[in-house]
Amino acid sequence: MTTTTDYLIIGAGSMGLATADWLAHHTDSSVQLLDAHSPPHTQGAHHGETRLLRQAYGEGSSYVPLAKRALALWKALEAESGESLFLPTGVINIGPPEAPFIGQVEASARQHGLALDSLKGDQVARRWPGWALDATMNGGFEAEAGVLYVERILACWRARVERSPNVALETGAQVMQLARREQGGWEAICADGRRFTAERVLLSAGQHIAPLMAELGVDLPLTRVRKTFAWYDCDARYAVDNFPGFSLNTPSSGVYYGFPDIDGAGFKMGRHDSGQPLPPGEAMAEFGEFEDDVSELQQVVDRYFPGVGALRFGAVCQYIRTSDEHFLIDEPLPGLIVAGGFSGHGFKFASALGEALGIWLAEQRRLPELALFEMARFASPGRRPA
């Protein structure tokens, strides 16, 4: 059986559902969403309950306009849905003053007029006694930042698109091949034989993007990495009213992130850098199966968080990274847009990127903000987001 629609979205995770939601509310076009599983699920990069949202951006000031637009859209979605989707805990960025990330956070705030409270480490520790820091570290606190409820957001988007008469979501639809059609457009062929065609396609299927594009002769610099994160017992210093979300660059160059105790879940922390590369489709080892899974987090807990106690449980997830760790969003073949490489810092932008990708699909117009993420930068190493 072949189903034909105006637009086809392969991968109904963060970016796929965000794009479908925008199309459902801004066009009368028919949209087909495909996902190998049933979102929200644990097979992509969107599980784990929470993500940080910050605007004074250490990954590059070019991201700030997208972050500001995303925050406005998150608040609009929250108001429209009547659900609690964003928790304004504030976020603090901690690191040695010479760390490039800390310098870029401060530069982003200056360039875009963002409110950022700059503190020395001992001031941070006095303001939030859950930190054990001295004056050799710097902190930048962004009061308007906070925490997104990621799985709650995906469930909200799914409910909204399923109410739309113009959008269809097929779960359990593993796309095995993408092919050009002789008469124009694209055809997606699923493992169970179902076929879906459209003139324009968004491929936002995480670990499956690179293999599908390789069959079309397009080599994408995307790597899949196994990552870990964990929850811990903690005292009242880490209650949501007493402690912000954080990113932490240690003097040894480790990069960590974390959350206060939200709804009794405990103190949550993960490591952003490092991880174990693995090929698409390979099962991830469970938390604790690698020797460093516990120790790489525990050493940071012991050093910086005096009120954090025993490990409750850990989990694994996957990052899909580009070689420079910036996003990859482009149209490498006519009518076929790819959106990937988001893992680790992409979800906070999903509301704004869903809007931008919807416009690209429907109007064949790329917003200027997306030019940062085109494939050409990999052929010209000097071109990269800054």
Asked whether the beta carbons of 43 and 56 are under 8 A apart, the reply is: no
Helix crossing, 14-26 with 150-163: angle to 10°? 40
Boundary residue ending a domain (286, 302, 322): 322
CA 72 to chain centre: 17
> Is 79 a member of any domain?
no
Q: Is residue 82 part of a domain?
A: no
> In this structure, are 27 and 102 located in the same domain?
no
Rounded to two decimals, the pTM is: 0.95
**Looking at residue 36, which CATH number applies to its domain?**
3.50.50.60
Q: Which of 69, 237, 271, 348 is catalytic?
A: 348
- 252 in the same domain as 187: no
Residue type, 240: V
| 165 and 144 in a common domain | no
Residue that is last in its domain, among 278, 305, 322: 322
What is the rounded distance in angstroms from the CA atom of residue 171 to the CA atom of residue 12?
9
Residue 313 shares a structural domain with residue 356: no
Is 268 designated active site?
A: yes
Q: Residue 326 is which amino acid?
A: H
Dist CA 63 CA 369 (whole Å): 8
Q: Please, are residues 370 and 15 in contact by the beta-carbon 8 Å criterion?
A: no
Look at residue 1 in the predicted model and tell me its pLDDT.
Answer: 82
Given 224, 237, 317, 345, the catalytic residue? 317
Check whether residue 170 and residue 306 sit in a common domain.
Answer: no
Domain CATH code at residue 128: 3.30.9.10
Q: Is 73 inside any structural domain?
A: no
| Same structural domain, 252 and 372 | no
- On whether both 166 and 29 belong to a single domain, the answer is yes
Question: What percentage of the chain exceeds 70 in pLDDT?
Answer: 98
Number of domains present in the structure of the chain = 2
The amino acid present at 251, given as its one-letter code, is P
pLDDT score of 384 more than 70:
no
Residues 243, 309, single domain; the answer is yes
Domain, as residue range, for 213: 2-46+151-220+324-378
- Each residue's pLDDT tens digit, 124-150: 999 999 999 999 999 999 999 999 999
Q: Is 287 found in the same domain as 174? A: no
26 is catalytic: no
Q: What is the pLDDT of residue 386?
A: 54
Average pLDDT, the chain: 95
Segment 181-191 shows an average pLDDT of 96
Does residue 69 sit within a domain? Answer: no
> Which of 50, 89, 223, 228 does the annotation list as catalytic?
50
Among 51, 208, 321, 377, the active-site one is 51
244 close to 89: Cβ distance less than 8 angstroms? yes
pLDDT in tens, 189-222: 999 999 999 999 999 999 999 999 999 999 999 9
Domain boundary among 300, 322, 344: 322
Is there a single domain that holds both residue 141 and residue 248? yes
Helix (H) or strand (E) holding 163: helix 150-163
The answer to whether residue 75 is catalytic is no
347 in any annotated domain? yes
What separation in angstroms does the CA of 169 have from each of 30, 153, 154, 355?
A: 11, 17, 13, 19
Residue 383 has pLDDT above 70, yes or no: no
Choose, from 160, 268, 321, 345, the residue flagged as catalytic.
Answer: 268
Q: Which of 19, 46, 47, 69 is catalytic?
A: 47
User: Is 68 marked active-site?
Assistant: no
The question of whether 200 is a catalytic residue gets the answer no
| Catalytic residue (one of 226, 272, 321, 326) | 272
Concatenated DSSP letters of 188-251: EEETTS-EEEEEEEEE--GGGHHHHHHTTT----EEEEEEEEEEEEE-GGGBTTT--EEEEE-T
Q: Are residues 234 and 372 in the same domain?
A: no
Q: Is residue 289 part of a domain?
A: yes
Q: What's the whole-number mean pLDDT along residues 379-385? A: 59
Query: Over the stretch 323-366, which tens digit does the pLDDT of each residue have?
Result: 999 999 999 999 999 999 997 789 999 999 999 999 999 999 99
In-domain check, residue 81: no
Q: For residue 66, is it within any domain?
A: no
Query: Could you tell me if 166 and 315 lie in one domain?
Result: no
